Amino acid sequence: MLSFAVLASILATTTATSIPRQIYAATPANTTVAFFQGGSSSDACSGTQVGSWGEYTAGVCNDITVYGLGIGESSTNNCVFTLYKDSKTCNGTEASSVVGVSIPQGYDQFCIDAGVYDGGKNVLASGIWSCF
């Protein structure tokens, strides 16, 4: 059994340290997206906007049926859109390529060339949007 003097000595030599807390900005849960058809490989969003503004939820797979996606940038975070070519289900095994497209922090729309020119009949693509 520890004596009171030994216990007091141990406590006297112990120093309290504070652990710094990091405060992280909440990552956005969703973003706006515009859908374009008829653009060019140099600017997939230069074509006609087909459909109203939509919304993508972070971490959710989206079947893509258009040539260009205009993804809304986050004002507080950098984001990424992972594009799965030849897959409607974000399956990396069946996709011919998986490309991570960095979306910078900002207040604008970032254009992504999804390459689906036939509405998804023969050319397939899907993607997942997320921020960090």
Q: How much is the pLDDT for 45?
A: 94
Contact 124, 89 (CB under 8 A): no
pLDDT(101) > 90: yes
Q: How far is Cα 54 from Cα 31, in angstroms, rounded to an integer?
A: 8
Q: How far is Cα 24 from Cα 39, in angstroms, rounded to an integer?
A: 38
Q: How much is the pLDDT for 29?
A: 93
How many structural domains does the chain have?
1
Contact 98, 92 (CB under 8 A): yes
Q: Is residue 17 part of a domain?
A: no
Contact 126, 88 (CB under 8 A): yes
**In sequence order, which residues have a C-beta less than 8 Å from that of residue 54 and are 6 or more positions away?**
32, 33, 34, 35
Q: Is residue 46 part of a domain?
A: yes
Q: Is residue 22 part of a domain?
A: no
CATH number of the domain bearing residue 64: 2.60.20
Q: Is residue 56 part of a domain?
A: yes
| pTM for the model | 0.77
Q: Is residue 7 part of a domain?
A: no
> Which residue range is the domain that position 83 belongs to?
27-131
Q: Is residue 6 part of a domain?
A: no
**In sequence order, which residues have a C-beta less than 8 Å from that of residue 20 and are 6 or more positions away?**
none
pLDDT tens sequence across 13-63: 433 333 443 334 457 899 999 999 999 989 999 999 997 789 999 999 999
Q: Token pair of 63, please?
A: 């079947």
Q: Is residue 19 part of a domain?
A: no
Q: Is residue 10 part of a domain?
A: no
**Percent of the residues in the chain that have a pLDDT greater than 70, as a whole number:** 80
Average predicted confidence (pLDDT) for the chain: 84
